[in-house]
Structure 1
Amino acid sequence: MISALVRPLKFALFTGKAEPPPFATRRTRVPAPRWLTPFTTLDGVRLAELALALYLYGVAGSDLWDRLDAQKVEAPSPLVLQMAFLALSLPVALRDRWPLGAWRAALVTLPAYVFVDRTIDGFPPQGISYTWPLVLTYVLVLYTVASRNTEGVSIAVWVVSMAFVGVVNTNVLPMAGAVFAVPLVLGYNVRARRGASARLAEESQLKVVAEGAQAVLEERARIARELHDVVAHHMSVIAIQAEAVPLKAAGDARQLEEGLAVIRSLSLDAIAQLRQVLGVLRDADGRKETTPQPDLERIDALVANARAAGLAVLFRRSPQVEEVPQAVGLSAYRIVQESLSNVMRHAPGATVSLEVARERDELVVRVANGPGARPAESSAGAGHGLVGMRERAVLLGGTLEAGPIADGFEVVARLPLEAA
């Protein structure tokens, strides 16, 4: 308990160092004269503080000399007089750079001011003269101390100041307590508000960083979905074609050449789409790929690839879907692409019913398949495509339902047009 009380006193009187001035970059800067070669700019705030200190020094000197002449008393030694003058000016000159040092300077020089004042008024005095330079100097110092130190240090400064006043003149203790408390409370509130603003700025910066990280994760998820759709579809078709072409050709060189040409075309299309997805990541200059994204017009190519891979696809598209938002067209294309790829993997040779229609303000995509003509080789990795399709629908504010039906599987996606 005693240590908690003594530590702020020790900090304020001897060891403490105040916080740096706030908003240093916002201070008024003025160009320095050419003859001040070590300086390129001057701090306007500290120049104003210095000007005020010089003014108070002159005011204090003229006031004390006038009073000495009026009372016809012998002047104290020049050293004491200079200390009295500095009591009103030195703390103001130091308070911005060294707040606690300015307050300590006031404690050291104020006794000289009190001595000169009592010399003028005679001993024992009724009380010292509380002139406006004296009050202004000490109030400014107290405010700066409170705005740049903790509340414990401010309380310690108030206690020491009250003790000093009690030694000099106990009659003014209540008034001094109130006068000293006002700048200390004001400085404390300013410091608290400044700290809250700093924390708010830090939280805002952290929020910006978090939003940036979230954007990166969303972009990674988007690229992952695009890569999955491109790779899964084209690799499935290429694998099936590579297996079926030799069997279909049965030694016929022309049919074998045609089959290989189809595989080559699919491979080039896959490479082009991969380049489109990853182009902006590879480009050091930040240039984006200008090739149009797939849309509903390119679903015919998907159907042709699926038929070439052995699926019997029945495709119906209503005329109202000619013009849809780009995001909806891309998502519909990817959903059809992934659905056909799933059929190739899990029900090769099946009959597929594909329908793309517009119902009121929604684009509806239905993909249903029957049983496969031959068993699927593997179901490894099943499930990720459905997750990607559902994410695409949800991002547009739509829904996607996928599940088994009689002798097959069905995917129904509803993509709102207005939200897109």
Structure 2
Amino acid sequence: MISAVLQPFVLAFFSGEADPPPARSPRLRRRVPQALRPLVPFDHYDLVQLADLVVAGLLFWITLTELVPSGRQPMAQVYLTAVAFSLPVAMRARWPLAAWRLALVLILPSLHVVRQITDMHPPYLQPAIVMYLLVLYSLAARSDRRVTAVGWLTSVLTVWIIDSKSMALASVAMTVILLFGYNVRVRRRATASRDEAIGERYVMAERARIARELHDVVAHHLSVIAIQAEAVPMEARGDVARLEAGLAEIRGLSLEAIKELRQVLGVLRDHEGRADTTPPPALDRLDDLVGNARTAGLTVRVKRSGELEEVPTAMAVSAYRIVQESLSNAMRHAPGSAVAVEVVWSGGLRVRVANGPGRGPGDAPGAGHGLIGMRERATLLGGSLEAGPTEGGGFEVEAVLPVESGS
């Protein structure tokens, strides 16, 4: 119980640490002029910290102008008092907790010097008021709430020691400043938590997009390559020329798969280190996709309708991937089947891929990631996708993408 009560005081006076400085807007960070760089050990300066230094200099100068003319106190004490009313302000941006501790230690002897010189009662010189309120704000904006509570209690007791009659007004002023600083800290932490959550959401969405793209690319090309690798030796039957032609086709499919994987991962670079800007495959490459499927043994019939070159890019890419995944599923689960591909552009895009039963046994049903990826593509564009078996042992996929999704 006692340790729980004492812990906030230990944090406030000894072991506590302030929050790191908040991220500055780029407008608040300026480059040091070229002529001054040999004279300073840094390339940029912070306008907020510079403002604190200016305020600290003003407080130092005002204190001197208030105390020096009297000549009633040694100049060393006058200068030390001016330092006490200015140094904590210069420190508060980088070391807010240390600045408050220093201000608290120096405030009583400094105000005693002011009282001796000016006969003020209470001896609240304006620089002292400004300095302490600024330091209190930094304490509350950058410290744990327990430390802030100790700061309030200690400050109120210090005012009571200096002048009990002014305790009520001074306490109200300090309370307002501390509450304002605490509110700023809460808002900063809430904003940071929100930004972190948004960042995590973006990361998850990007991971899902990359996984979807990788699945589409790998599933399609590897299915074709696997079927070709099995079919080429059987078709060649010892004919070296046919075998070499089949292997060259497999190599071409492999290179195309690698190219698409590099596009997805963003690692393709030219000799100058610039990112590859090759557009992703879309409906203009539908014939290549169908050709690969025919090479793998499918009988594919394609029907196009409408001005497909007018289809927006995002919609065309998703339509291509949906056809690609549907053909890959037909290769794996219904090898040798007849497939009908229909792409219609009319007030929106409709994509339909239907295959009949295979000529031989296909692979066992998978985990369904392909269907999930196709539905996600359609949903992201505001459309819908239906998929399921048909009479006679086939399978059909139909996606409808509204025209607004591509605008």
TM-score by length of 1: 0.69
Picking from 385, 392, 396, the partner of 2:377 is 392
* Superimposed CA distance per residue, residues 270-318 of structure 1 (whole angstroms, 9 cap, x where no aligned partner): 422432331532438242153x544434434444454454444443333
* Superimposed CA distance per residue, residues 331-379 of structure 1 (whole angstroms, 9 cap, x where no aligned partner): 333333333333333333333333333454232323231x333x31542
Matching residue of 2:170:
180
The separation in 2 between residues aligned to 1:294 and 1:64, in whole angstroms, is: 85
- Match runs of 1:122-161 below 5 Å: 129-130=120-121, 134-149=124-139, 150-161=148-159
Structure 1 pair 38–365 and aligned structure 2 pair: CA distance change class (3 A): closer
Structure 1 pair 28–138 and aligned structure 2 pair: CA distance change class (3 A): farther
AA matched with 1:327:
A
C-alpha contact (below 8 Å) 1:311/1:352 kept by paired residues: yes
Secondary structure of the structure 2 residue equivalent to 1:419: helix
Matched, 1:100 2:71: no
The separation in 1 between residues aligned to 2:217 and 2:23, in whole angstroms, is: 50
Matched, 1:352 2:339: yes
- Match runs of 1:16-415 below 5 Å: 45-46=52-53, 48-63=55-70, 89-96=82-89, 97=91, 98-111=99-112, 114=115, 129-130=120-121, 134-149=124-139, 150-166=148-164, 173=165, 176-200=166-190, 202-203=192-193, 205-207=195-197, 209-211=199-201, 213-214=203-204, 216-239=206-229, 241-242=231-232, 244-246=234-236, 253=239, 257-258=241-242, 261-262=245-246, 264-279=248-263, 280-283=266-269, 285-288=273-276, 290=278, 293-321=280-308, 323-369=310-356, 371-373=357-359, 375-376=360-361, 378-379=363-364, 381=366, 383-415=368-400
Most deviating of 315-324 and 3-12: 3-12
Secondary structure of the structure 1 residue equivalent to 2:249: helix
C-alpha contact (below 8 Å) 2:326/2:353 kept by paired residues: no
The separation in 2 between residues aligned to 1:53 and 1:16, in whole angstroms, is: 30
AA matched with 2:151:
V
The separation in 1 between residues aligned to 2:292 and 2:14, in whole angstroms, is: 82
The separation in 1 between residues aligned to 2:379 and 2:392, in whole angstroms, is: 28
Structure 1 pair 18–386 and aligned structure 2 pair: CA distance change class (3 A): closer
* Superimposed CA distance per residue, residues 214-265 of structure 1 (whole angstroms, 9 cap, x where no aligned partner): 354134214313323432442254145326515xx6x7x5xx7457525533
Secondary structure of the structure 1 residue equivalent to 2:394: strand
Aligned residues: CA RMSD: 4.4
Aligned length: 374
Structure 1 pair 315–262 and aligned structure 2 pair: CA distance change class (3 A): farther
AA matched with 1:100:
R
The separation in 1 between residues aligned to 2:320 and 2:62, in whole angstroms, is: 80
The separation in 2 between residues aligned to 1:360 and 1:344, in whole angstroms, is: 31
Structure 1 pair 298–90 and aligned structure 2 pair: CA distance change class (3 A): closer
Structure 1 pair 244–188 and aligned structure 2 pair: CA distance change class (3 A): same
The CA deviation at 1:93 is 3.1
Give the structure with higher Rg (CA): 1
Structure 1 pair 5–312 and aligned structure 2 pair: CA distance change class (3 A): closer
TM-score by length of 2: 0.71
Secondary structure of the structure 2 residue equivalent to 1:317: strand
The separation in 1 between residues aligned to 2:11 and 2:326, in whole angstroms, is: 73
The CA deviation at 1:107 is 1.5
C-alpha contact (below 8 Å) 2:298/2:331 kept by paired residues: yes
Unmatched 5+ stretches in structure 2: 92-98, 140-147
The separation in 1 between residues aligned to 2:327 and 2:23, in whole angstroms, is: 64
Q: Percent identity?
A: 27
Structure 1 pair 260–340 and aligned structure 2 pair: CA distance change class (3 A): farther
AA matched with 2:326:
S
